[in-house]
Structure formats: structure tokens, C-alpha cells
Amino acid sequence: MTNYPNQVPACGTDHLTKVYTTGETPVVAVDDVSVAIERGSFTAIMGPSGSGKSTLMHCMAGLDRPTSGGVFIGTDNIALLPEKTVTRVRRDKIGFVFQSFNLLPTLTAEQNIVLPLELAGRKVDRQLLDQVVSSLGIADRLTHRPSQLSGGQQQRVAIARALVTQPEVIFADEPTGALDQRTGTALLEYLQSCARDQGRTIIMVTHDPKAAGYADRALMLLDGRIVQDVADPTAETMLSLLGAVVA
């Protein structure tokens, strides 16, 4: 834990390395990354294709195992925990929002939202559920199935599903990728308010400099390393940094 600060961040990594050995030559997807993510912050992860964004996020979220180094959720180093315990940490402390929404088609919006709670054997906090769905503007859509909802509404259901478990960290993988610009902007504003007003910790992988402009911090990856760590990023800054690393 050499690089891990004393004040406990929401999550982070300590000399995290991930090497894939499935192909003919090993690929170092994440190369000695140490980063601490502050509680209540909104962080964007950017970088060219193949720079290691998804691998870093998957390792941080306990979806993939590091080759070496530490991965912290609060004080738990999940790299040292058995798979069963990692699954529990993931269920109890982490929320996910994917580009493809990952909603179950046969369930209503509400059933999709409360599914993680039911799987964890936890009670549904009706007041919290009402508050989350009304702040996302989907309170009148709860009995609809995903096929009866627009893309933006489906993504908001996916966000509600990530929020009702009150996770310590929410990981979002290209959450605006499948949305039109207006709906995408509304979603980013919502994620921003989740961090600023509700103290949620959000980590978002994005290709879009405009989306990164909504975050408090942006990490730029190149060849599995963090090459820029930008406070209060703007779309313009991120666009020029991205241009510089792909040049």
C-alpha cells in the first residue's frame, strides 16, 4: 500500500498491472497504475482505442482480476479477496451503468430497478426508490417493459438500478454512447448532480471530450498508463489532449 493515501478514498489502485497472456505475445493492458478516487467526485477516463480504459475500469470494479498490484474499494483490497467475496463487495458497494443498458426485457422498469436489491436479499426502500425515479423523470414509466421505453428512458432505468443499492462507487461505461445529444446531456447533468449534490462517487469511461467536460477530474490513458490527470476538465482541454496523444 505504498501509494495509497491515509484519508480513505472511495476506491483506487496501487501499482495495478494487467497483462493478457491469451494471445501469442502478452499484452500489457494496464501498466503500473496508482490512482486514488475521492469520495463524491465524478471522474472521467479517456484515451485512444486500446489504451486500457475498459481493462482499468473492469479491474477497479472487480469484474477482472489484476496481474499484480492492489485494487481498493474503500479499505478492502479486492485483489487479495477470494472470488466469492469480490462478488459480494461488487453487489453491495458498486453500481454499474453500461452503454447497452443491460435491462431484462421480460421485466418491467421497476422490476429491473429493484432486481439487484432482490438478488442481494435486501429490502426495497420505497422512499429512496420514489426519490430516485422521480429525480430521473421515470416515475410514470415504472410498469413499462424496456421495449416500450425510449433509449434515454432505458438508460435512466439503468441508472436508477445502479442508484437504489446506494453503492459506494458507480462505474459507467460509455453511458451516453447510445443516446442522442439532448438525452446524453441531460444524463451527464444528472450524473454530475449525483456527485455534487448527493456525494456519490462516479467513474465514467468515455470517448467523448464533451462528456468528460462534465466531470471534476479526467484521467488520460495511453498504452495502459495515466499520462494526464486533469482537474476540472473542459471539453476543449480534453479534445486537445486527446489530439496530442493520438498524434
- Name the site residues for ligand ATP (rule: CB under 6 A): 20, 22-23, 27, 29, 47, 49-55
Shortest Å distance, C-beta 132 to ligand ATP: 29
- Concatenated DSSP letters of the chain: -TT--SSPPSEEEEEEEEEE-SSSS-EEEEEEEEEEE-TT-EEEEE-STTSSHHHHHHHHTTSS--SEEEEEETTEEGGGS-HHHHHHHHHHHEEEEETT----TTS-HHHHHHHHHHHTTPPP-HHHHHHHHHHTT-GGGTTS-GGGS-HHHHHHHHHHHHHTT--SEEEEESTTTTS-HHHHHHHHHHHHHHHHHH--EEEEE-S-HHHHTTSSEEEEEETTEEEEEEES--HHHHHHHHHHHH-
Measured from the CB atom, is 49 or 181 closer to ligand ATP? 49
CB of 55 to ligand ATP, least distance (A): 3
Q: Which is nearer to ligand ATP, 110 or 208 (CB)?
A: 208
Nearest distance in Å: CB 217, ligand ATP: 18
Looking at the Cβ atoms of 20 and 98, the one nearer to ligand ATP is: 20
The residue among 23 and 105 lying less far from ligand ATP, judged by its C-beta, is 23
> At closest approach, how far in Å is the CB of 54 from ligand ATP?
3
Q: In whole angstroms, how close is the CB of 30 to ligand ATP at the nearest point?
A: 7
Q: Which of 5/26 has CB closer to ligand ATP?
A: 26
